[in-house]
Amino acid sequence: MKLLFVADPLESFKIYKDTTFAMMREAARRGHELWACHPADLVWRSGGRVVAQGARAISLTGDADRWFSVVSEGELALADTDAVVMRKDPPFDSEYFYATHLLQQAEREGAKVFNKPAALRDHPEKLSLLEFPQFSAPTLVTRSEAAIRTFHKEHGDIILKPLDGMGGTGIFRVGADGLNLGAIIETLNKGGAETVMVQRYLPAIKDGDKRVLVIGGQVVPFCLARIPQGGEVRGNLAAGGKGVAQPISARDREIAETLGPILAARGLLLVGLDVIGDSLTEINVTSPTCFQEITDQTGFDVAKMFIDALEAKI
């Protein structure tokens, strides 16, 4: 199969932990042809097809420092591949949004894209949990300072975060004393111009913000608990959290087995659910990670499960 990965620049990969690299490595092990491009390389012209200009066919070298070599480079029509794997990291900004439309046009031309572009647009990672309130902690989505203050009075200890953040950026905790609440609201909602998510603080974060993976509607039996370090409230690995793989709990499985088939039917081949304690906090669909950490610590080959699912869809 010819696989095109739409991703951040390959030179930026930290291959010891990068999930896209793990996917590529497993695909290469099976003899699949690897291509890569950046969303900025996507082009459409009247009368033509969506192409990736400057797409690179690569081979994996096995060298940790120079992990790939370029076999060839040129224009590649997405419809001439067997699968396009969209792995561009957030933020889900305007350019990401435009890229999904180009990818959707490529679908009309015959390309198979995973995750499905329309599904990426329909499932913003923080707001998607609104569809499943039975699993989420008390949550507020608003631009209103007054509404946030009322929520704080009701719950006493809260987490505030921007809707377009990733890796724990822009997350604040405000305790019962309300210290700096006004300044934090001003920072996040920019005078009412931007929408903020507010959730009741979950003490179970001390045991980790669990990443539960669902592939092709099926639940990976291990999760990665990302445990805050050094007084941090954030467990995100990018914010210094420690990743500890563990079997999923009965509650994790309940959440994942409920959402998995629903999301898979919408074209989401890979989903990363964030669960703190018994509560769903986010549904990640753009570029879910943690493959390598789970595999390294448990021996369960997550990349194999993903490529199996990808092959089954082609």
- Contact, 2 vs 32, CB < 8 A? yes
Q: Which of 115, 125, 211, 252 is catalytic?
A: 211
* In the block, residue with structure tokens 């997350």: 171
- Per the annotation, the verdict on 266 as an active-site residue is no
- Which pairs from 238-246 meet CB under 8 Å and 24+ separation? 238/166, 238/167, 238/168, 238/169, 239/167, 239/168, 239/169, 241/168, 241/208, 241/209, 243/290, 243/293, 243/297, 244/208, 244/297, 245/293, 245/294, 245/296, 245/297, 245/298, 246/222
Question: What Cα–Cα distance (Å) separates residue 221 from each residue in 206, 256, 289?
Answer: 22, 10, 15
How far apart are alpha carbons 260 and 258 in whole angstroms? 6
Among 88, 161, 200, 210, which one carries the catalytic annotation?
Answer: 161
Query: Which residues, 6+ apart, have CB-to-CB distance to 178 below 8 Å?
Result: 152
Instruction: Please pick, among 88, 116, 200, 234, the residue that the annotation labels catalytic.
Output: 234
Residue 56 annotated among the catalytic residues of the structure: no
Decide if 161 is catalytic. Answer: yes
**Is there a catalytic annotation at residue 234?**
yes
Dump the DSSP string for 60-116.
E-S-SSS-EEEEEEEEEEGGGSSEEEE-PPSP--HHHHHHHHHHHHHHHTT--EES-
**Pick the catalytic residue: 56, 126, 200, 210?**
126
Does 254 qualify as catalytic in the annotation? Answer: no
- Active-site residue among 107, 125, 209, 274? 274
Among 56, 87, 200, 226, the one annotated catalytic: 226
Active site residues: 126, 161, 211, 226, 234, 274, 282, 284
